Structures are given as C-alpha cells and as structure tokens.
Amino acid sequence: MRIALFTETFLPKVDGIVTRLKHTVEHLQKQGDEVLIFSPEGGLKEYKGAKINGIKGIPLPLYPELKLAIPNPSIRFALQRFKPDLVHVVNPAVLGVGGIYYAKKLNIPLVASYHTHLPQYLHHYNVGALEGLLWELLKLAHNQAQLNLCTSTAMVDELVNHGIERVDLWQRGVDTESFNPSLVSKDMRDRLSQGNPNDPLLLYVGRVSAEKEIDKIKPVLESIPNARLAIVGNGPARAELEQFFADTNTNFVGYLHGKELGEAYASADAFIFPSSTETLGLVLLEAMAAGCPVVAARRGGIPDIVTDGVNGYMFEPDDPQGAIAATQRLLAQKDERETLRQNARLEAEKWGWAAATRQLQNYYQGVLSSSDKGLLAA
C-alpha cells in the first residue's frame, strides 16, 4: 500500500503521538508499504525510508515547539505525484484539514485518528466555554473519513457519544526492548535524585503543560518524608512549575532519549501520572515495560492499561487525597511493589508495535475494499 500520512506534529518534536507514528511508519515501511509524511517543517526530509514533505509552520505563541502548518497547493501536487492508495490524517486540526480536503478532492480513501483530547484541554486554558463548538468542528472533520480510530475504549465511547461515526479501536503499542527492567542504573538514580539515591524517587515523564496537571504531584511529594521528584520532559508550563515546586525536592531534568529514558523509568520507585485528559497515556506503558510501578488518574484511556492493585494503582482525579494514599501504599509495601513491577512488565509485553501496525494495515485494507465495492456499485 501507498499511504499519505498527515500529522500536526512529528520529529523533531517529542511526545506520545510522535512516538506512535515513528514506530508505525517504521513497521509499515519494513513490511513493504510506502509512506509519505506531511507534517510541519522540522528539518528532516526522511524517516526510516519514508519521505517527509515539510510544510512551513507558524510556532504557537504559548508553545513554540508546536507549529501550525497552513495547507497550500503544493500538497495537491505532492499527492498526485505519490499516488497514494489511502490518506491517513492524524488529529485533524489545521494541516490535517488540508489532508481531508485533498483526499476528498482527489477521491482518495480516508482514515482519521484521534490522539489528543482537545475538548478537555480547553478547560485547562480557561476557554472551556468553547468545548461544544470544538466538538462540532471535530465531528465535521472526522465524519468525512471512512474510518476513525481511537487508542482507547474510553475515547471510542467519547467520540461515538458526540456524533462521530465509523469509530474503532487502534490497539496500544510499546517498545519492550527500549523500556526494560534490566536498564536499572545507579548512576541514573543518582542523577534523577540529585545525589540522594536512597530517598524515595517519584518520576513524571511527558509534556510539561497545564493539561497534564503536574501541580497535583506536589501534595504527594510533600506527604512522603525525604521523597524526591524527577520531571522528565519539557513544555510551556516549565517556568511556572519550577517556581511552584521551588520549595520541594524536585529536579526538572528536561528531555531524555533512548537508553537514558529507559534507565530513568527502570530506576524510579514510582511513576506518578495525574493527568485526567489522556486518550491513552503511552508513557504509562513505557513505565510499565520498564517495571516501574504506576500511580495514575482513573480517567480517559488509563483504565485500559492499568488494573488497580494488579499492575499499578489508580485514584479518582477529583479526590485530592487519592494520589497521596495510593503512592504512600505503593512505597510502604515492598513485596507488593515487586509484584506490581512484575505484573506491569507482563502487561506491557502483550502490546508490541508490530501487532499494532498489523492491526492498522487490516483496517486500511478494509477501507480500501469498501471503497472498491462502492466504486463498482456506482
């Protein structure tokens, strides 16, 4: 198959969506498919054999790492040269809307996927009144597609309940080689804990932004004597959060990649994830693959991954004591924590990227078969 992939974010940006797309593109190319990526311009021209068609973008004032790439007629010409069998639009917002437009204009079968719970994000930026309007716009965009994919059952239900049609589940995936309990490292633990490796070490990995609700970790940190918190990642809220956590044992590490990121997960005592806006929470799967016990909010796509008391702990996001109690319990019960580690790894081992990509290929084939039948009927 020849697949034109439109995404609002790709390398060099680092986030869960980019991680999924990287592995998907790599596995599609390995299995003989050909992918052309349309994304905001970032300097890269190719990834794992897939050509990247970078579209000039405007940095978002509140989040310069994210760029709004405005569709232009060059997209049409690139599509006509590539002759894709199918267009896949990831999180249609600006560039993705261009992908939808040209897919329709050129009569190319269309798949869309939903990875970022934007309507919920609005409430963290004091524009929650626009949620209804945003759902209408999302419905208008997604209902152009022959198939809409979500990465958790909760998001499948959410989209269906808001009038989006032809929705199905794209299974989770994680790199169980890069994230592995064997990567535990004394040097990394010393680095994350700022020279206090014997203290309890809490870890957060992900975007450092308002919708991740990282501020909710502070009461947890303060409730555990001598505890340390390492925040791995970056984003628009970093300066504000550095001030907010200034009187605590918190280390803003910045980005870690590759083996170092695997070592960070494997070397921490607990992974704390308070976000209640996750469509899946890929970092949770990475932590679990590395054998790091997780404490996470019971909302969105997280219950698809975490089984409370079996491979991690969940708490009600509206209960301010919930995360504190769950983390204290995790750290206090050494034997139980070891069982959670083992079960977390076993859960992650079920979800390789190769299987997730094979499922996606089957979805693509189904859409193409339906389109062929439609043409014959016409």
pLDDT at 36: 98
Higher pLDDT, 216 or 301: 216
Superfamily in which the 181-348 domain is placed by CATH? Glycogen Phosphorylase B; (3.40.50.2000)
pLDDT at 121: 56
2-173+352-377 and 181-348 agree in CATH topology: yes
Domain extents in the chain = 2-173+352-377, 181-348
Query: Nearest CA to 264 among 166, 349, 345, 184?
Result: 184
- Residue 110 pLDDT exceeds 50: yes
- Residue 372 pLDDT exceeds 60: yes
Radius of gyration (C-alpha) of the chain in whole angstroms: 21
Query: What span, in angstroms and rounded, lies between the C-alpha atoms of 275 and 277?
Result: 6
pLDDT at 187: 98
Mean pLDDT over the full length of the chain? 91
Q: Long-range contact list for 339-344, CB < 8 A, 24+ apart? A: 340/293, 340/310, 340/311, 340/312, 340/313, 341/181, 341/291, 341/292, 341/293, 342/291, 343/307, 343/310, 343/311, 344/287, 344/288, 344/289, 344/291, 344/292, 344/293, 344/294, 344/311, 344/312
- Does the pTM surpass 0.85? The reply is no
pLDDT at 376: 42
pLDDT at 373: 59
The pair of structure tokens assigned to 281 is 């929470």
pLDDT at 282: 86
Mean pLDDT value across residues 336-347: 93
Instruction: Look at phi and psi of residue 119 and say left if phi exceeds 0, alpha if psi is from -120 to 50, else beta.
Output: alpha
Mean pLDDT value across residues 216-232: 96
CATH of 2-173+352-377, one of 3.40.50.1820, 1.10.760.10, 3.40.50.2000, 3.40.50.720: 3.40.50.2000
pLDDT at 155: 86
Query: What span, in angstroms and rounded, lies between the C-alpha atoms of 203 and 231?
Result: 6
